[in-house]
């Protein structure tokens, strides 16, 4: 019965298995290379409020007006015209001042919350 059992079961010899080890490793590496790891994309949303300007007189030159936010010179009003560009500021209360032609044409204290977009009208001089 023992000889019958030996012929029924296959006992591989170690010497015959050695050439198969590199082939098995190559197959495992090839299968591992086929696996695509999950990818994720993260974006940071800019929630800062935006401030832009428009002129009451369309024939007026926006380069003639300087914009000040909280006492800081932010540049010409032409840089922040509505529909073209806007100024990103931090959420909260701000002192807004627009000077043009030697005088203050607009001075307001405004509150801007997250994602707010506000267009300020620069009055006629």
- Please state, rounded to an integer, the average pLDDT across all residues of the chain: 85
Share of the chain above pLDDT 70, in %: 80
Residues 85-109 have pLDDT tens digits of 999 999 999 999 999 989 999 999 9
The helix (H) or strand (E) run that includes residue 23 is helix 20-33
Residues 34-46 have pLDDT tens digits of 667 777 888 888 8
The CA–CA distances, whole Å, from 62 to 14, 75, 82, 88, 100 equal 88, 11, 11, 19, 9
pLDDT attached to residue 45: 86
Architecture of domain 50-122: Sandwich (2.60)
Residue 59: pLDDT above 60? yes
Residues 66 and 100: their CA atoms lie apart, in Å, by: 6
Does the reported pTM lie above 0.85? no
pLDDT attached to residue 22: 80
**Confidence label for 124 from pLDDT (cuts 50, 70 and 90):** confident
Provide the residue ranges of all domains of the chain, joining segments of one domain with +.
2-33, 50-122
Residue 66: pLDDT above 70? yes
């Amino acid at each position: 019965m023992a000889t019958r059992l030996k012929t029924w079961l296959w006992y591989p010899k170690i010497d015959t298995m050695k050439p198969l080890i590199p082939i098995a490793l190559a197959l495992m590496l090839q299968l591992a290379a086929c696996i695509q790891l999950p990818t994720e994309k993260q974006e940071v949303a800019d929630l800062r409020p935006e401030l832009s300007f428009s002129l009451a007189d369309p024939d007026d030159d926006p380069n003639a007006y300087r914009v000040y936010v909280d006492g800081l010179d932010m540049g010409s009003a032409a840089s922040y015209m509505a529909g073209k560009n806007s100024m990103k500021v931090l959420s909260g209360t701000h002192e807004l001042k627009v000077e043009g032609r030697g005088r203050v044409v607009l001075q307001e204290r405004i509150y801007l919350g997250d994602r707010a977009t506000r267009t300020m009208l620069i009055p006629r001089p």
